Amino acid sequence: MTMPLPEAHSAFEPVRQQRVESLNLEVQEFRHRETGAMHYHLAADNRENVFLVALRTVPEDSTGVAHILEHTALCGSERYPVRDPFFMMLRRSLNTFMNAFTSSDWTAYPFASQNRKDFNNLLEVYLDAVFFSRLDPLDFAQEGHRVEFAEANNPQSELQFKGVVFNEMKGAMSSVPSVLWGKLCEHLFPTTTYHFNSGGEPENIPDLTYEQLVAFYRSHYHPSNAIFMTYGDITAAEHQQTFEERALHRFQRQDLRIQVPPEQHLPAPIRASDHYAYDESDDTANKTHLVIGWMLGESSDLEQMLEAQLLSSVLLENSGSPLQHALETTDLGQSPSPLCGLEDSMREMVFVCGIEGSEAEHADALEEMVLSVLNDVAENGIGEDRLQAVLHQLELHQREVSGDGYPYGLQLILQALGCATHYSDPIAVLNLDPVIETLRERIEDPDYIKRLARKLLLENPHRVTLVMEPDSDLSARRLQQEAKRLEAIKAAMDADQKAATVALAADLVARQQQVDDESILPKVELSDVPASMPELEFAEHGDGPLPLTTYGQGTNGLVYQQLVTPLPRLSEEQQAILPLYTSFLTELGLGAESYREAQHRQSAEVGSIHAFTSLRGKVDDAQSVQGKFILSSKALLRNTMQQAQLMADTLHTVRFDETERIRELVSQQRARRDQSVTGNGHGLAMAAACAGMSPLARLNHQLSGLAGIRQLRQLDDSLADSAEASRFAATLAEVHQQVSAMPGQLLAVAEPEAMTQVKDAAAKAWAARAAADASVFQLDAVKESRAEFWVANTQVNFCARAYPTVPVEHPDAAALTVLGGFLRNGYLHRAIREQGGAYGGGASQDSSIGAFRFYSYRDPRLEDTLADFDASISWLLEERHEARALEESILGVIGSLDKPGSPAGEAKQHFHNRLFGRTHAQREAFRQQVLAVSLEDLRRVGQTYLQAERASTAVVSNAAQLEANAALCERLMLKVEKL
């Protein structure tokens, strides 16, 4: 509903205000009178306030200018002329989120905080960074790219490319889905900015000059090209006063209309082919990706966007959807492409489907199969019940108050940002209810979905079929080309240029080591930290068939339910398939229903249903592990009874006789896990390094780590034998039989007034539940050192070193937790990121497994990084440190402990913490221990636990790095492991 104009600061003109009932907030729109900058404020009763300023950035090449500028803009500004204000503020803040993003056609700078003083501090720093950045050439050299001699001060040595973004993008372009998406866009968008890689292609990044960076900043980073978006309980007028005083009053309107023009439509479908680097082995059979992409209508047209979402969901939502089913069951490839679905963040939307694990010669057959499915939909349509289920999912997604990853307010802002970027209405995309109702009326016409299939896909000639084949020599050729380029650069250098290169490296080191006056930056103090954490209220009910714990939370009409049981004792073979068992449990048939029918039922009745295990070391003994099985779901309140019954049916009637389906699921899981290496290589390396420190750490490595990926590949290969597939299905059934026999309890989270309905549904659904006491899950103790070099398909390195420590109730756990941030802030960030060029690096204590871990992420170095891990310990023990650095690390830990989640997420976390002995009192005690940590405590725990002879090391890299580091592997006795 439209409301009276909102109150505004005098520098801003109010445009409109609209209530969005489904989100329980008012959206307010303002325009800055002088510059034309837009401000959208999402007024909500939420103390986690969010700010974002976005600039339309439209690169015309793949040098990564927008991405490098995003990094460099945060390296010092007019009011804050220090070297690294962004990372300094990270540690002087109680923020719940701080980052910056470069998208394909915008760059955004968001943060969130629950503390008003902290929010204002960050707002002033962000405004100055964006609109008054210094753009020091040395920062461009550090964050973007530069050349350095391999041996400092020796112009006779080889040249090397260095730079944070340069190495970040080398890592990003090791990700096959990233390469695949970039190549598809290259062909789908031959004339607009989406043709280019806004993050930067490693071979193009060195083409960018400092002068070009500055010119891009001046042409794009102006308030006339800016969009301000805020969320929370601070008023729009209060925000606007800061915007005006700290930035906008210094600008005059510019005649700017930076935008992406519409793409020229292809007259006919095209076929394109390319290659991606595959470094694991020379065996490239069945490693080809085949994808088909269509350019659709404009994302800023809300009706077009929801129609595209509707058709995409009809075709691909779950395994019962016609196109998804065809892609999952075809013999043409291993599994559906990770790109499958609708991309609606760019000006024109893109619909993609395809397969991976295929061969190039199957491209024609894939096209034929996909078009056949689309023709069937266009001829025969889809049942109205299926269409209603899709709209049900849209409604549920619109209503859900999320916030367990990104802050909820930031998710809403990002949902609206695309439309604002393209000069369209961002408020409409937040208020989907009217359009959903329109779609609900339209689907009553049985020809509606048929027409959509024809219009959007079958009769749309703007289609690209992309064949991406693996090339086991591509990485080597790229390295050779890079070496030749560097040789040519060096050959063209005169003595002055060589001296300048040496001087640049020396100047950069000096700048990285200089100690800035941080007092010019605002900060919060320990005195600003809340005295305690809020305690959630809950109720326990013992009058039903199962014990029930309820939390009354503001869930906006959603109900969250979980069944929780202890994990039973399992054999090693059964333990090894636990992640597959929980993943498959809700993907199979129920009773007389096939898996496709069960998938449709899920879509119609719940927002999601999934199973998982939760394993934690005991609070006082990391060698003793507790395990729980959880079946979890969410649904709209009107479907509470169906939700509870679906959960009961899933546990009691799931079918493990769909052997072919199980084989497909294993293959899909393998594909997803293979793709995780480039994005989570540091996590996998840490898991490998910690695997000898506790039974849970070892199990993590075996189930979800590198050892688990290798085991999954072997399993997938073995299931080609039908007898082996039947045996595996039988083992899954055995695990389920043991799990379903364990005694259980229920958790429900809903709005207080819904609890009677929730309790009644639970009592009916679980009335027949019977369980017998059985032996509970346990693991044998383990304490051993590890030293491993894992060879994977990655162009960059991920390094980890770990030391055995203590569980959370040990008196030293708090000091070790603070030590992680202290080492990162004081030493590792500078050594590994700034000087070493890695995208990230740090250290942390994991008390659940009793381990302290060092890591680097997308790292060009290997041996030097491992040396930096050791050097940071020496720095801790030998240098004199300031109390300020300790306070910053404590603030970081407290900020993490106090970080809010969604209403449902906080309740679930509270419940599960209690299950594992992490009571509110225990967590409060730990929080107080953190606040009391001293510098002497840090030295003491560093000296006690971080001893060289106790270290374990793991590296994830490639075959070329293995060969180049043979001496290091021999010295550290790194065992070579291959995926």
Given its phi and psi angles, is residue 163 left (phi above 0), alpha (psi -120 to 50 degrees) or beta?
left
Q: What residues does 42 pair with on adjacent strands?
A: 27, 231
CA distance 551 to 752: 8
End-to-end CA, the chain: 56
pLDDT tens-place string over residues 774-821: 788 989 999 999 999 999 989 899 999 999 999 999 999 999 999 999
CA distance 696 to 134: 48
pLDDT tens-place string over residues 454-505: 999 999 999 999 999 999 999 999 999 999 999 999 999 999 999 999 999 9
Residue 722: C-alpha distances to residues 669, 718, 719, 727, 845 (Å): 19, 9, 6, 9, 45
Q: What pLDDT is stored for residue 194 in this prediction? A: 97
**DSSP conformation letters of 579-597:** HHHHHHHTTS-BTTB-HHH
Tell how strand 106-113 and strand 101-102 pair up.
antiparallel
pLDDT tens-place string over residues 586-642: 999 999 999 999 999 999 999 999 999 999 999 999 999 999 999 999 999 999 999
Q: What pLDDT is stored for residue 468 in this prediction? A: 98
- Residue 892 · residue 394 · CB < 8 Å: no
Residue 971 CB contacts under 8 Å (≥ 6 apart), including other chains: none
Q: What pLDDT is stored for residue 771 in this prediction? A: 67
**pTM to 2 decimal places:** 0.94
Nearest 5°: CA angle at 766, between 761 and 772?
160
Burial class (CB in 10 A: 0-12, 13-18, 19+), 355: buried
Determine the residue type at 785: S
CA distance 776 to 757: 33
Determine the residue type at 91: R
What is residue 315's DSSP assignment? H
Q: What pLDDT is stored for residue 1 in this prediction? A: 52
- Residue 791 · residue 954 · CB < 8 Å: no
Which regions of the chain are under pLDDT 50?
Answer: none
Structure tokens at 90: 């990270």
Determine the residue type at 899: K
Handedness of CA 888, 930, 804, 628 (dihedral sign): negative
Q: What residues does 654 pair with on adjacent strands?
A: 590
| Domains identified in the chain and CATH numbers | 270-471 (3.30.830.10), 543-567+589-655+742-767 (3.30.830.10), 657-737 (no CATH), 787-978 (3.30.830.10)
- Count CA atoms within 13 Å of residue 731 on its CB side: 19
Q: What pLDDT is stored for residue 282 in this prediction? A: 79
CA distance 703 to 246: 51
What is residue 620's DSSP assignment? T
Burial class (CB in 10 A: 0-12, 13-18, 19+), 511: middle
CA distance 20 to 426: 12
Burial class (CB in 10 A: 0-12, 13-18, 19+), 779: buried
